[in-house]
Amino acid sequence: MSTELYARHVNDQWVRLLQTLGTDMDYTRCEGTRLTTAAGREVLDFLSGYCVYNVGHNHPRLVAALHEELDRKGPTMLQSHVPPLAGELAARLTELCGKHLVRTVFMSTGSEGVETAIKFARAHTHRSGILHADGAFHGLTCGALSLMGGATWRADFEPLLPGIESIPFLDVVALEKKLATGRFAAFIVEPVQGENGILVPTAADWQRAAELCRRHGTLLVMDEVQTGIGRTGKFLATHHFGVEPDMVILAKALSGGLMPVSAVLMRDEICRSVYSSIDRALIHASTFGENTLSMRAALTVLDILRDEDLCTRAEHSGAMLREGLRTLAGKYEMVQEIRGIGLLNGIKFRPPSSLRLKLLYASFSRLHPAMFGQLMIRELHRHEGILTQICGNDFLVVKAAPPLTASEAEIGRFLQGFDRTLDRIHTRMGFWGQGLALAGRALRPA
Ligand SMILES: Cc1ncc(COP(=O)(O)O)c(C=O)c1O
């Protein structure tokens, strides 16, 4: 009944997609890495809500902290006082992100974080241009969407913001050419590209890029919405590369998935360019931005991250996961490469070269470029009880990004399930036959 209501009143195409993939489960209990359905089936989460559940689902300390905060019956969104937890959280974030990032602007979503960065960069530099990387994912509000080149995302929503240009991800030659024009307020970029297939640059490339931004007066803004809060084995992915960005955008995992929150950290002088006088005290704000429950959730997530040493765990588990995947990769012709850092990992596939699989694969990709990947996701879910997804801008990359709390046994369970799935894809006709029938049905107009 609730599915019917959702389809009728919210988004029927989302219901169609989930039902086609067979992933429309009625989850009744979510704890750590495990999702339990009403029918008692257990699913292992290797997607983490696109890097939201770094501390796992419904971490008991987080749930207790929110209960306590509610029981206190204090102001949550009064917007008429100085919210003390916002100051406390901002100070903790400065400690963790970098001492030069002394100011934080709080919003509720990653996209709002990106919008904030665009506005503050423009105000500070008095330039209007914003540079981004090809294949980036920065969010779906109009400003954030302007920083995404993908035609599918943009169609029907243009014109977007003017003055936006892009370069291939960390192509320092192209970067220098653009920056030399003096048009760009900011280079807004993910330190590791997530939706574009988990692309991890070298520290040398990052240091060169940061140096170019500094030389040309363009602010370097790191979008750490997916990569932050320990996901890559350090608090920020930026910390792997030895660069000091002018702004950092955090969201998703910051509040552990129970409350929406985003935070844009920046140098003092950038913040002062916007909040420059008493009449501009609220010139950039958002109703839910500094609400007490989000602030409490984020403070508790930071405590959990520290007390459970989740950055170190992510580094170790990630190395174990990649090693296991690399061993599997050698057995299967369609696996091209294993990529990743910490617990942000991708398995890159390639079209098959053997004649038998080539024809089947071609019929899949003729139907839709994401078809092969989506049917693999379906297979993993249906037969192995593993939840994951393909990347939004590279359909041939499957994500392996469990909560940072994932145990060795759970990583082992994923590896075994993935191995069996790869074996079925490479040796059995059933996967392809059922897939083609299903895809045909799914692509018929409703
Ligand atoms: C790197 C990155 N930036 C920004 C966003 C937008 O965040 P939100 O969906 O919270 O608006 C996302 C969302 O997936 C993201 O992956």
What CATH code is carried by the domain that includes residue 220? Answer: 3.40.640.10
**Nearest atom of ligand 1 to the alpha carbon of 112:** 11
Answer yes or no: are the C-beta atoms of 304 and 60 closer than 8 Å. no
∠ Cα 19 23 26 (to 5°): 95
Q: 265, 287, 307 — which closes off a domain?
A: 307
Indicate whether 272 and 227 sit together in one domain.
Answer: yes
72-118 residue pLDDT tens: 999 998 889 999 999 999 999 999 999 999 999 999 999 999 999 99
Q: Quick one: which atom of ligand 1 is closest to the CA of 252?
A: 10
Count structural domains, the chain: 2
Distance CA 151, CA 153 (A): 5
Instruction: Name 15's Cβ contacts closer than 8 Å, sequence gap at least 6.
Output: 3, 6, 7, 24
- CA-to-CA distance for 366 and 59, rounded, in angstroms? 43
Atom of ligand 1 nearest to the CA of 111: 11
* Whether residue 155 is found in the same domain as residue 128: yes
Q: Whose CA is nearest to atom 8 of ligand 1?
A: 110
Ligand 1 centre to CA of 432 (Å) is 33
Q: Is 224 in the pocket of ligand 1 (CB under 6 A)?
A: no
Q: 7 to each of 13, 293, 374, 438, how far by Cα in Å?
A: 8, 31, 21, 20
- Does residue 3 fall inside a structural domain? no
Q: Let me know: does 160 contact 103? Beta carbons within 8 Å.
A: no
Q: Is the CB of 226 under 6 A from ligand 1?
A: yes
Do 324 and 285 lie in one domain? The reply is no
Question: Do residues 267 and 392 share a domain?
Answer: no
38 and 112 belong to one structural domain: no
Could you tell me which residues come within 8 angstroms of residue 274 by beta carbon, excluding any fewer than 6 positions away?
119, 120, 123, 124, 280, 283, 284
Give the global pTM: 0.97
Do 295 and 180 fall into the same domain? yes
CATH number at residue 371: 3.90.1150.10
Q: Which of 252, 288, 393, 394 to mutate to test the pocket of ligand 1 (most atoms within 8 A of CB)?
A: 252
Instruction: Say what percent of the chain tops pLDDT 70.
Output: 99
Is residue 4 in some structural domain?
no
Position 220 in a domain? yes
314 and 289 within one domain: no
In the block, residue with structure tokens 């991250």: 305
For residue 443, what pLDDT band results from cuts at 50, 70 and 90?
confident
Catalytic residue at 348? no
pLDDT at 446: 64
User: Quick one: which H or E segment has residue 29?
Assistant: strand 27-31
Q: Are residues 194 and 285 in the same domain?
A: yes
What residue's CA is closest to ligand 1, atom 14? 139
Residue ending a domain, choose from 254, 280, 307: 307
Do residues 270 and 369 both lie within one domain? Answer: no
Average pLDDT over residues 49-53: 97
Domain encompassing residue 318 = 11-59+309-443
User: What's the mean pLDDT in 322-333?
Assistant: 96
The domain boundary, picked from 248, 277, 307, lies at 307
Q: Is 268 tagged catalytic? A: no
**5: in domain:** no
CB atoms within 10 A of CB 82: 8
Q: Binning pLDDT at 50, 70 and 90, where does residue 367 land?
A: confident
Ligand 1 pocket mutation pick from 50, 138, 146 by most atoms within 8 angstroms of CB: 138
293 and 334 in a single domain? The answer is no
Q: Are residues 268 and 191 in the same domain?
A: yes
Active site residue 134: no
The DSSP element (H or E) to which 399 belongs, if any, is strand 397-400
> Do 365 and 261 share a structural domain?
no
Confidence of residue 445 (pLDDT cuts 50, 70, 90): low
Considering only CA atoms, which of 224, 286, 232 is closest in space to residue 260? 286
Catalytic residue among 46, 106, 120, 137: 137
* Residue 381: pLDDT band with limits 50, 70, 90: very high
